[in-house]
Homo-oligomer: A and B are copies of this chain.
Amino acid sequence: MATIREVADIAGVSVATVSRTLQQPERVSPKTRARVTSAIEQTGYKPNLMAVKFRSGKTHSLVVLVPTIANLFFARVINGMQEAAAERGYSLLLGNTQGNPDLEADYVKMVQTSQADGVIQLRAHNPFSAMQSSSGGLLPMVNVCEVVDSASFPTVTLDNHNAAKSMTEHLLELGHTRIGLIKGPNSSPLTQERLRGYQHALANADIPFDESILFDGDFTLRSGFDAARRMLEQPNRPTALFCENDETAIGAMQALKQAGLKIPEDISVAGFDDIAFSGYADPPLTTIAQPAEEFGHTAVSLLVDVLNGKIKKAPRVIMPHELIVRNSTGPAPGTNA
């Protein structure tokens, strides 16, 4: 592979001129520029970007910490990140962390070892927390989707409380008074917020909160299926089931249908996220849509601003959501609506 020196020799100029021709062409005369360009073509020269990054101290790479890549919502967010990163001349390094703090710490080391400029964390956990706490300034990271509050980095999230409240109100309006909830992992703040939004709507409607119709889940199809089965074993079953994500809802619907229940005639089911499969579920799933790609754009944009020192105080960005009513929710049995 040709180096900058060979190009310089062939063009009969110094390496500095070659470098300039590449970095700031306007600073070299058209004549020499042409000579250099032709020498570059002739040799098939490609700058060694490892040397460039090393020398310049900027890698133009961002590490993305994602609990699991096999999640359609995250996939959309990451797609958005990639678009925004490419526009800004950055590339993305994906780290599948399974939510493991040790793995996250490993990836964060990439920043400390100058392999990446910053990190985007998709989970509610500060991966820098194990290290030296930042003395004052902003950390080179942003936290998206599932966030933890901190003055050290920007966050981009949904108003999960209000979104869950809207969905619960939708169910309430349909006449449901006994609404079950399949939660996400208890460790996730997102789960807590959605739970509180649900409780809030219930309280507004003067419906007592019944802990016995709260079910544990972990955002997977299987956990939704299992939770619904547990629900069916109970007496006095709910007439509506709010699931904290779509995968859970789709798993739950399967269990409900297997038990001979009709959706939404016998029981309504609602999800959260609006993944592609939800529109093709049977019946199509009522859910909350989030601007996934926008989450990605915003995260990258903020991180780049942080890296360039354009941001001093860490902003808290709230993205909009939308209630999507499809056929999995309907009037409560016995209601004539």
Contacts and interface: CB of A to CB of B under 8 A. Distances in A.
12 contacts: A48-B113, A48-B114, A51-B114, A53-B115, A69-B79, A70-B76, A70-B276, A93-B94, A221-B277, A221-B279, A257-B282, A282-B282
B96 A93 contact: no
A49 interface: yes
Given A1-B112, A92-B94, 7 more contacts: A46-B113, A48-B54, A49-B113, A51-B114, A82-B96, A221-B276, A225-B280
Measured as residues with beta carbon below 8 angstroms from the partner, the interface class of chain A is 35 or more
B114 A49 contact: yes
A185 interface: no
Contact of A93 (B1, B91, B279): B91
A251 interface: yes
B276 A254 contact: no
Contacts of A44: 132
A171 interface: no
A158 interface: no
Contacts of A75: 69-70, 75
B280 A250 contact: yes
Interface string A29-57: 00000000000000010111111011000
Interface string A264-281: 000000000000110110
Contact of A54 (B51, B68, B82, B225): B51
Contacts of A276: 70, 220-221
A300 interface: no
Contact of A250 (B51, B114, B277): B277
